[in-house]
DNA sequence: TAACAGTCG
């Protein structure tokens, strides 16, 4: 590995942190390696790079990476760490001898935009020295690409082919403080890899609050410490900070707790609008309901006020918005890959009312005021019932800080917190519960199994999930025939299911479809289930959408078929997907056809893409590609082979469409977006449950209960008509 | 009887 440290230059001073980590104390003189014009950058780009706060830490970062196995960068937003550190490593020789520098991101959009920025700064063509990989898109050239950006999910998949990630010399895990499942799994696996590959260097970037828990995770345990402490690289993690370039944001708290955060948010916006200088407002609420209600209230207030309070442009923002609605917020020239927000028209003030999507996933320009309700919707998992609930819960200090920071991107801003300072200081949790501890773990466990991690319960996680959740995941995988009695992956089923990039239950249905002669159909269904929705949502046109959907609900449909009663022939949402897909293909993949039928054209393009990828995977695994034509029974049976644990039976003698799960006798209802809503067949299996005030089954298909015993005899026993037991 | 925090492969 190339050395970068120039003898004779001043060494940074290092001190022991009180927790045993190494803290870097930077000297006041900034780094002065400004003689790199040999690379032929445009001068202004070079100047911009040098003005970034992280530039002052360049030598120190390189020193730490050279000498410490793990370096934790505490970087505020705007420090430039993501774009600059990979370049420093490249300049420092870490990509010599065919090695690659990796930088992971939690989101695809970030991967793409950061990679193209870095390619531009380095003056190279994207996909050559600098490249990126996300699902469906490998923009790298093996042997040429030296700096590679990728999602952490892709890095996990790469480990299945190359468990030691041997081509990488340095792996930078960015945004680790978000603690997503895949980031946490990556961190756990990288820690293991480090023991086998001492030459591998890790850089973990994190916001302030999470840095210590991540550092303590990477601190070697006593039994691994011992004698070799002086060898390079040192095993103790080093911590260094790079300040951000954001502007200061003044924080305002309410004096007394508010009873109704929605009403409080609306009045706060009006107050800002009346009293504060120009600048857009971003309001954080919890979900679509809240947001639409607040938007309506604001519009009413703005209209009823006198002229001086006019000029409010109220814009709801959540991921379920249609393209048409998004276009009101985004400028017309943007593509999905390039979410640049349009400037506010003169004399107008934008009020963007948003879910958490604006906390991390989208960056809005021009925000000067933030209103923070203190709540967000969060998923919580109950391993006993195996149900994920979506509930409104208080956010963490880390989130509150992130939300406030959204006000300081263009100039000093203000944040209005709809909770008291006393609450913030004394009661708000410092950090959120990692996603890993709030989720069903089947996908996660099967990936670890595929990587040869046998002892799941003893795995060294950054945040251990409850034993109950892990045991539940093992149990489900066992019932799918993916794990054997020794909790090892079965062959070939277990390895095949792990290989398919879908939830294990859906992968299992995919395998079953090969045997039942309907794999072509299952590919379509799996692809359709992997997009958020294949339907467009237009507020106020719900009825037309429902009608459009029912036109596709029959087992067979002709394009000219009139609207008919679906009561007798509808077999469920999965079959409906097949009809939409068929219609889409027959139209020549026409966007006009989509529009006419309330089908989301962009979603359908994604379905095509996902289907192609799954088809390649299926071929590789030797799944026989075959269409069952009109035999929907084969399709429904294949679905049952994966989702038998989600079987439900309608409650007789009630007229409210109440179902009971076979497994736990839980009350569940068919989601109003399902084509089986109000149809209420006797037996169904569902794809997922969304649990709000009631438990709603989303994407439901009718079944014959006899199939349950047929496809999962180890799970169900038939005990006479209408009686089925586990 | 009426609904959808946000990601990823």
Question: Going from the N-terminus, what domains does chain A have, and what CATH number goes with each?
Answer: 13-242 (3.40.50.300), 249-433 (3.40.50.300), 436-499 (1.10.10.2130), 504-725 (no CATH)
Q: Distance between CA atoms of A65 and A428, rounded to whole angstroms?
A: 35
Provide the CA A129 to C1' B3 distance, Å, integer: 47
Q: Which nucleotide is nearest to A354 (CA to C1')?
A: B5
3-state secondary structure A210-224: HHHHHHHHHCCCHHH
**CB proximity A134–strand B (7 Å threshold):** yes
Question: Does a cis peptide bond (omega within 30 degrees of 0) precede residue A492?
Answer: yes
Provide the CA A135 to C1' B9 distance, Å, integer: 7
**CB proximity A376–strand B (7 Å threshold):** yes
Residue nearest to nucleotide B6 (CA to C1'): A357
**CB proximity A696–strand B (7 Å threshold):** yes
Q: What is the pLDDT of residues A145-204, one digit of tens each?
A: 999 999 999 999 999 999 999 999 999 999 999 999 999 999 999 999 999 999 999 999
Structure token digits, residue A581: 């897909």
Report the helix count and the strand count for chain A, using DSSP H and E.
Answer: 25, 25
Terminal CA-CA length for chain A: 58
User: What is the DSSP secondary structure assignment for residue A465, as one 8-state letter?
Assistant: P
Q: What is the pLDDT of residue A322?
A: 60
Q: What is the pLDDT of residue A243?
A: 82
The neighbour count for residue A684, using CB atoms within 10 Å, is 27
Provide the CA A272 to C1' B3 distance, Å, integer: 33
**CB proximity A381–strand B (7 Å threshold):** no
Provide the CA A440 to C1' B8 distance, Å, integer: 15
Q: Which nucleotide is nearest to A392 (CA to C1')?
A: B5
Provide the CA A433 to C1' B5 distance, Å, integer: 15
A73 in Cβ contact with A206 (< 8 Å)? yes
Name A residues 139-178 whose Cβ lies under 7 Å from strand B.
151, 153-154, 157
A658 in Cβ contact with A669 (< 8 Å)? yes
**CB proximity A529–strand B (7 Å threshold):** no
Alpha-carbon torsion angle A207, A209, A214, A219, nearest 10: 120
Provide the CA A7 to C1' B4 distance, Å, integer: 60
**CB proximity A549–strand B (7 Å threshold):** no
Q: Extract the residue ranges of chain A whose pLDDT is less than 70.
A: 1-42, 222-230, 305-310, 322-346, 539-540, 555-569, 718-726
Q: Which nucleotide is nearest to A134 (CA to C1')?
A: B9
Half-sphere exposure of A472 (CA within 13 A, CB side): 16
The residue assigned the tokens 């979410």 is: A339
- Angle at which helix A519-529 crosses helix A632-643, to 10 degrees, equals 60
**Overall residue count recorded for chain A in this entry:** 726
Q: Which nucleotide is nearest to A361 (CA to C1')?
A: B6
Provide the CA A497 to C1' B9 distance, Å, integer: 13
Of A570, A578, A574, nearest in space to A554 by CA: A570
Provide the CA A576 to C1' B9 distance, Å, integer: 25
User: What is the DSSP secondary structure assignment for residue A615, as one 8-state letter?
Assistant: H
* Cα A341-A123-A126 angle, rounded to 5 deg: 65
3-state secondary structure A478-539: HHCCCECCCCCECCCHHHHHHHCCCCHHHHHHHHHHHHHCCHHHHHHHHHHHCCCCCECCCC
Sign, CA dihedral A543-A549-A555-A560, equals positive
Q: What is the pLDDT of residue A12?
A: 41
Q: Which residues pair with A138 in a beta bridge?
A: A133
What b-and-e string marks burial along A333-353, b requiring 16 or more CB atoms within 10 Å of the CB? eeeeeebebbebeeeebbbbb
Provide the CA A304 to C1' B8 distance, Å, integer: 45
Q: Distance between CA atoms of A218 and A235, rounded to whole angstroms?
A: 8
Residue nearest to nucleotide B7 (CA to C1'): A107
Residue nearest to nucleotide B3 (CA to C1'): A672
Q: What is the pLDDT of residues A453-507, one digit of tens each?
A: 989 989 999 999 999 999 999 999 999 999 999 999 999 999 999 999 999 999 9
**CB proximity A650–strand B (7 Å threshold):** no
User: What is the DSSP secondary structure assignment for residue A572, as one 8-state letter?
Assistant: B
Q: Distance between CA atoms of A515 and A624, rounded to whole angstroms?
A: 8
**CB proximity A532–strand B (7 Å threshold):** yes
**CB proximity A689–strand B (7 Å threshold):** no
DSSP string over A320-368: T--HHHHHTTB-TT--TT---BPPPPTT-EEEEEE-THHHHT---TTEE
**CB proximity A320–strand B (7 Å threshold):** yes
The neighbour count for residue A94, using CB atoms within 10 Å, is 25
Residue nearest to nucleotide B5 (CA to C1'): A377
B chain positions with any atom within 7 Å of a protein CB: 1-9
Provide the CA A288 to C1' B5 distance, Å, integer: 9
Provide the CA A387 to C1' B4 distance, Å, integer: 17
Residue nearest to nucleotide B2 (CA to C1'): A672
Name A residues 485-514 whose Cβ lies under 7 Å from strand B.
501-503
**CB proximity A106–strand B (7 Å threshold):** yes
């Amino acid at each position: 590995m190339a050395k970068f440290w120039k003898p004779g230059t001043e060494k940074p001073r290092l001190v022991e942190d009180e927790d045993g980590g190494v803290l870097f104390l930077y000297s006041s003189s900034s780094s002065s390696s400004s003689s790199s014009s040999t690379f032929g950058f445009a001068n202004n780009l070079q100047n911009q790079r040098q003005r970034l706060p992280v530039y002052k830490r360049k030598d120190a970062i390189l020193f730490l990476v050279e000498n410490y196995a793990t370096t934790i960068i505490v970087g505020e937003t705007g420090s430039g760490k993501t774009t600059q550190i990979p370049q420093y490593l490249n300049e420092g020789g870490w990509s010599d001898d065919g090695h690659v520098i990796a930088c992971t991101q939690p989101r695809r959009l970030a991967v793409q935009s950061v990679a193209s920025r870095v390619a531009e700064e380095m003056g190279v063509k994207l996909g050559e020295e600098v490249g990126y990989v996300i699902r469906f898109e490998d923009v790298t050239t093996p042997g040429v690409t030296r700096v590679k950006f990728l999602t952490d999910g892709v890095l996990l998949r790469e480990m299945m082919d190359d468990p030691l990630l041997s081509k990488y010399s340095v792996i930078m895990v960015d945004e680790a403080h978000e603690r997503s499942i895949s980031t946490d799994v990556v961190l756990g696996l990288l820690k293991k890899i480090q023991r086998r590959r001492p030459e591998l260097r890790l850089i973990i970037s994190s916001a302030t609050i999470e840095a210590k828990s991540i550092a303590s995770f990477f601190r070697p345990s006593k039994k691994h410490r011992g004698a070799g402490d002086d060898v390079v690289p040192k095993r103790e993690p080093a911590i260094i900070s790079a300040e951000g370039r954001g502007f200061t944001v003044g924080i305002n708290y309410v004096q007394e707790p508010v009873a109704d955060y929605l009403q409080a948010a609306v009045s706060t916006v009006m107050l800002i609008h009346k009293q504060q200088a120009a600048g857009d407002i971003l309001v954080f609420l919890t979900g679509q309901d809240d947001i639409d209600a607040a938007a309506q209230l604001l519009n009413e207030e703005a209209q009823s006020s006198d002229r001086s309070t006019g000029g409010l442009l109220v814009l709801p923002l959540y991921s379920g918005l249609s393209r048409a609605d998004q276009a009101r917020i985004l400028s017309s020239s943007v593509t999905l890959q390039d979410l640049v927000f349009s400037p506010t028209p003169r004399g107008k003030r934008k009020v963007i009312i948003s879910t958490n999507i604006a906390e991390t996933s989208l960056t809005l320009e021009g925000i000067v005021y933030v209103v923070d309700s203190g709540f967000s919707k969060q998923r919580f998992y109950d391993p006993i019932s195996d149900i994920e609930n979506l509930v409104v819960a208080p956010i963490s200090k880390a989130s509150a800080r992130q939300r406030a920071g959204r006000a300081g991107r263009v100039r000093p801003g203000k944040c209005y917190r709809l909770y008291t300072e006393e609450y913030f200081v004394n009661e708000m949790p410092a950090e959120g519960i990692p996603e890993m501890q709030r989720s069903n773990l089947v996908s996660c466990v099967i990936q670890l199994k595929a990587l040869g991690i046998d002892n799941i319960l003893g795995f060294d996680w950054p945040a251990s999930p409850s034993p109950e959740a892990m045991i539940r995941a093992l149990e489900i995988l066992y019932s799918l025939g993916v794990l054997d009695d020794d909790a090892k992956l079965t062959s070939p089923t277990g390895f095949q299911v792990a290989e398919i990039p879908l939830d294990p239950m859906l992968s299992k249905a995919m395998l079953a479809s090969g045997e039942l002669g309907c794999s072509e159909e299952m590919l379509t269904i799996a692809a359709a289930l992997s997009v958020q929705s294949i339907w467009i949502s237009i507020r106020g046109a719900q009825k037309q959408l429902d009608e459009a959907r029912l036109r596709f609900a029959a087992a067979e449909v002709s394009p000219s078929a009139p609207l008919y009663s679906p009561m007798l022939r509808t077999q469920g949402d999965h079959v409906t997907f097949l009809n939409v897909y068929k219609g889409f293909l027959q139209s020549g993949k026409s966007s006009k056809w989509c529009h006419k039928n309330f089908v989301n054209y962009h979603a359908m393009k994604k379905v095509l893409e996902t289907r192609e990828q799954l088809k390649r995977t299926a071929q590789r695994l030797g799944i026989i590609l075959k269409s069952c034509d009109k035999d929907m029974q084969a399709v429904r049976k294949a679905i049952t082979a994966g989702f038998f644990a989600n079987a439900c039976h309608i409650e007789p003698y009630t007229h409210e469409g109440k179902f009971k799960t076979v497994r736990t006798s839980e009350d569940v209802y068919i989601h109003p977006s399902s084509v089986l809503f109000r149809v209420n067949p006797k037996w169904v299996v569902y794809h997922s449950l969304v649990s709000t005030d009631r438990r709603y089954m989303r994407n439901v298909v009718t079944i014959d209960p006899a199939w349950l015993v047929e496809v999962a005899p180890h799970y169900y026993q038939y005990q006479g008509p209408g009686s089925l037991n586990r």
